[in-house]
Amino acid sequence: MSAPATPNLARARTFLFVPASRPERIAKAISAHPDVVIVDFEDAVAPAEKVAARAALLGWLDDNPTARVTVRINAAGTSWHETDLIACRHPGIVGVVLPKAESAAQIAHVRDASSKQVLPIIETGAGLEALAEIAKTPGCARLVFGKLDLAVELDLVPDETDPEELVFLPYRAMLVLASQRAKLPAPVDGVFTAIGDAAALGRYAGRARRHGFGAVLLIHPAQVGPVTAAFTPLPADIEWAKAVRAAAEASGGGVVVLSDRMIDAPVIARAERILAAVESQGT
């Protein structure tokens, strides 16, 4: 297996889940080249299998010492939580995904107990209420949107014919705003469950990008390509951004017109953001 470099959680666009109870799938997940692999101790593992799954991951990491993964642990208050945190001290684990995050204290405890960066999943009303404090807690690397559990708790009923998922719009906006105010990277959007529909996934990821998100949770290796493409600037966008930068530099800081459109500070800032993304992604 060719292991990737240590993942950059701030710049990652794709976060691919794999169950800890199936360690043989970790190498397959890595070979799909997501930016981050999340080995799951929580929903993908039955209660009776959790202890064995934890041990299986640690054994796999010992056998693959160059591999680097993150782990979704079990939520605070469960009987597995503290032992999961001890396991996450393993050097092959670079981040902890915390489900049902509901307080700054939980984030601080996970960081202190594991010594790893924390990606809290916001998927409850209590989590939304504490969002600003969670985002500003030292050790919080990035916010993650858990739309499926939130829909159950708040009795939201998504409309499958609505690709914009308007029912989630207020809650996604809360994560985007909290991330910006805390100077965090753009948040990670929730899973897209129609595994075989690449076109719909591309539209879903494009909507996430338009709504201020910077990544998506994935549940199958085939989802890596469409999501990566959706978060990668198009050649036309890159050329536009370069033209804006050149026009701005030539103007000496004044307002300038490019292709019959005014180029002012907000437009220049958007162009620079595109070029920064190109540089960070190596596109």
Q: Which of 37, 35, 41, 34 is nearest to 26 (CA)?
A: 37
Instruction: Return the domain boundaries, the chain.
Output: 14-230, 235-281
pLDDT at 224: 97
pLDDT by 10s per residue, the chain, length 283? 454 568 999 999 999 999 999 999 999 999 999 999 999 999 999 999 999 999 999 999 999 999 999 999 999 999 999 999 999 999 999 999 999 999 999 999 999 999 999 999 999 999 999 999 999 999 999 999 999 999 999 999 988 788 789 999 999 999 999 999 999 999 999 999 999 899 999 999 999 999 999 999 999 999 999 999 999 886 777 777 787 788 777 777 667 777 777 787 778 777 777 777 777 776 5
Q: How buried is 65 (Cβ within 10 angstroms: 0-12 exposed, 13-18 middle, 19+ buried)?
A: exposed
CATH number of the domain at 14-230, please? 3.20.20.60
Asked if 67 contacts 8 with a C-beta cutoff of 8 angstroms, the reply is: no
Distance CA 279, CA 259 (A): 25
Distance CA 108, CA 190 (A): 23
Four-residue CA torsion sign, 40, 45, 47, 52: negative
pLDDT at 234: 67
Distance CA 99, CA 123 (A): 8
**Identity of residue 235:** P
pLDDT at 4: 54
pLDDT at 283: 52
**Tokens matching residue 228:** 């990566």
Asked if 67 contacts 26 with a C-beta cutoff of 8 angstroms, the reply is: yes
**Identity of residue 56:** A
Distance CA 35, CA 30 (A): 9
pLDDT at 131: 98
Q: Which of 73, 3, 18 is nearest to 220 (CA)?
A: 18
pLDDT at 5: 67
Distance CA 119, CA 71 (A): 10
Distance CA 186, CA 13 (A): 10
Query: pTM for the whole thing?
Result: 0.88
Which residue do the tokens 């530099």 mark? 249
